[in-house]
Every structure is written in C-alpha cells, then in structure tokens.
Amino acid sequence: MVDTHQHSSHPRISARLKRANGHLNSVIAMIAEGRPCSEIAQQLHAVEKAITNAKRELIFDHIDHCLDQDPDAQDSAATTAEFRDIARYL
C-alpha cells in the first residue's frame, strides 16, 4: 500500500509538469515536421527549465514542510540523512 503524501504545493507542481508535458509533445511534433533545430532547441530548453523548476519547488517544499515539521525527525542525524538524500536531486 502506498502512503499518501500530499502538500499544498503539489497541485501547482502537477500543473507545471502538465504544461511541460504539453511543450514536450510540441517538440516531438516539431521534430516530425522538420522544424529548424534552433526552434526545437529553444523549446527543449523551455521544457528542461520547467521540469527543473518543478523539481526544485518539490524539494524545497519537502525541506520546509517535512524536515522541519516531522515529529519523527527529532534525531538530527536522521534529518541530515534525509536532507542529503533529497538534496542530491537538486
């Protein structure tokens, strides 16, 4: 069974990722249409930035709301380990 883990930021992050997905589908279509590489690269850059920003928001939200407020995180070694674990994705 999967533990449900929701934050108030998750709908915003999901919306960002859905937009990025739409842009990525556009990039795939641009390649199929034979659009100029500079246009494709520009759109790929936008997709990459959108995903990076969504990831960053998710990680910062986790740090702000899970590490600071987790009653089980009283052990500083465990908190530091969890922080290091998620920070590697930055």
Residue ranges covered by each domain of the chain: 10-87
8 vs 14 pLDDT, higher one: 14
Q: What is the model's pLDDT at position 48? A: 94
Return d(Cα 56, Cα 60) in angstroms, integer.
6
**Spatial distance between the Cα atoms of 88 and 80, rounded to a whole number of angstroms:** 12
pLDDT band at residue 81 using 50, 70 and 90 as cut-offs: confident
List the CATH code of the domain at 10-87: 1.20.58.1000
pLDDT per position as a tens digit, 24-71: 999 999 999 999 999 999 999 999 999 999 998 888 887 777 666 655
Name the maximum alpha-carbon separation found in the chain.
56
CB of 63 closer than 8 Å to CB of 88: no
pLDDT at 88 over 60: yes
